[in-house]
Amino acid sequence: MNIKNSLIASALMAIACISCKNDKTENWMDHSVDVASQQLLATAEKMDGTGVLPRSIWTVYPLDFVERQTERDRKTFADSLVLPADSLVNKMHTINIYDWTSGFFPGSLWYAYELTGNEDLRKYAASYTNMLAPLRDFKRTHDIGFMVNCSFGNALRLAPNDTIQPILVSTADNLCSRFDERIGCIRSWDFGRWNFPVIIDNMMNLDLLFNAWHLTGNKKYYDIAIKHAETTMKHHFRKDFTSFHVVSYNNDGTVEEQCTHQGKNDASAWARGQAWAVYGYTRCYRESKDKKFLDQAINVANMIMSRVKTEDCIPYWDYDAPVTDETPRDASAAAVTASAFLELCSYAPDGKKYSDYAEKILRSLSSESYLAKPGENMGFVLMHSTGSLPNDSEIDTPLNYADYYYLEALVRYKELKK
C-alpha cells in the first residue's frame, strides 16, 4: 500500500471510530429504556390483579454492620429497627395503596410509556393508577404528593380525562389540612417523639399543591407551598447548605429539635435528603421565579458536587458515612439528583455543569454496575439503593422510587438532547 492509500485508509478508520463512538453514546440511552420497559412490563403482568404494588426486595443486615456504618451503639437505634420475618428475606416487598411509595410504580409505567409509546405500558399505567383512586379521601400522610402526583399527575399529562383533576385537587386539599399557619409548615409524620416534625422529603410533595393551583386558579395552594419552602429553607439548612433530615417545631413556631431518622447522625448529610432538597427548591423556582429559591437550589447542587467523592457520582448512603468496602451506595439519591439537575440546568447561569453532572450519573446508573439485566432483580430496574440504614431497612436493594426518578431523568435527558 502506498502512502496516499495508507493515509486514506487511516482517515476512513478514524471516521469509522468516531461513528462507532457516536453510536455507542446514543445506544446507552436506548439500552436503558429497553431494559426498563422490559422490567416494568414483566412486573406489571406478573402483579396484575393481585391488588398490591412492588416496593423493593426485603433485606436484613447484621446489627454490627449498622453499628459500624452509623458509628453508634445498637442501643441508640434498636427501637426503630424494621426487620422482616425470616421467610420474607430476599423476596419482593409488596405494598398496598396506602404505603407512601404506592405512586412510584404507576408513575414509572407512565414514564416508560412516554419514552417508548408502547400501548401495553400505557394500559398498565392506567390500571395501576386507577388502583389508587381511594387515596382521594386519605388524610393521614404528607406523602400524598408522592402517591398521587407521581401517578395521577403523570396520567393527566399523558392520558387526560375528566376523573383525574378532582382526585388531584381533593388530595391537595388533604395535604393543605396538615399545614399549620403558626409554624408555617406542613406536618410530615404522625408518629415519634416530636411535637411537629417536618422532614426535608416534604419538599417533594409541594408539586401536588402547585398542580392544584394550576388546575383551579386558587392561590391558597401556591401560598401554602411557598410558605412551607421558606420556613424549611430557614431552619433545615446548615451554613454549608447540607440539610438536616428532621426539624421539629414547637407550637409557637420555634425549633424544638434538628435531627435525623435515616441518616448517620444528627449532624451528617444523609444522601437522599440532599437530593430531595435540590429537587424541591428547583421546582419552587420554576413555579415562583423567586431568585432566592434558585440560589438555594444552586447552593445545594454545588454542595452535592463537592461532597460526592465517588468516581461514578453515585453517592454512599450518607456523605459522612465511613467509607469501606461494605459501605452501600444509594442509587435512589443519584437518580433524584440527576432529575433535579436536568431541570436546574435550564435556569442556572452556568447550567451546563449541572447537565454534564446529571449525564455522568445517568451513564453510571445505566451501566451494568447498577442497571439490572432483563429478567433479574425481581423486575426492578436499578440495583444498589439504600432506604433507611439506621433502621436496618432496605439496604443495598432496589427501590421503586429509584426506578421512578431514573426514568424521569431519562425523559428529561431525552428532551434536553432534542
At 259, which amino acid appears? C
Ramachandran area for residue 90 (φ above 0: left; ψ -120 to 50: alpha; else beta): left
Q: What are phi and psi of 161, to 5 degrees?
A: -150, 170
Closest CA to 199 of 280, 138, 284, 306: 280
Rounded-to-integer distance, Cα 296 and Cα 401, Å = 24
Closest CA to 28 of 354, 308, 370, 375: 370
Among residues 48, 64, 143, 162, which one is catalytic? Answer: 143
Residues 6+ apart with CB under 8 A from 41: 112, 118, 120, 121, 124
Distances (CA, A) of 15 to 20, 23, 53, 246: 9, 12, 49, 55
230-262 burial: b if 16+ Cβ within 10 Å, else e: bbbbebbbeeebbbbbbbbbeeeeeeeebbbbb
Cell output for 381:
430496574
Rounded-to-integer distance, Cα 153 and Cα 134, Å = 15
- DSSP reduced 3-state for 82: coil
> In terms of DSSP bridges, do strands 246-249 and 197-199 run parallel, antiparallel, or are they unpaired?
antiparallel
Burial class (CB in 10 A: 0-12, 13-18, 19+), 349: exposed
Question: Is 30 an annotated catalytic residue?
Answer: no
Residues 6+ apart with CB under 8 A from 209: 145, 172, 175, 176, 221, 222, 224, 225
At 108, which amino acid appears? S
Residues 6+ apart with CB under 8 A from 275: 304, 332, 333, 334, 336, 337, 340
Among residues 201, 318, 392, 403, which one is catalytic? Answer: 201
- Could you tell me where the beta strands, DSSP code E, fall in 148-212? 179-180, 185-186, 197-199
Question: Is 223 an annotated catalytic residue?
Answer: no
Residues forming the active site: 143, 201
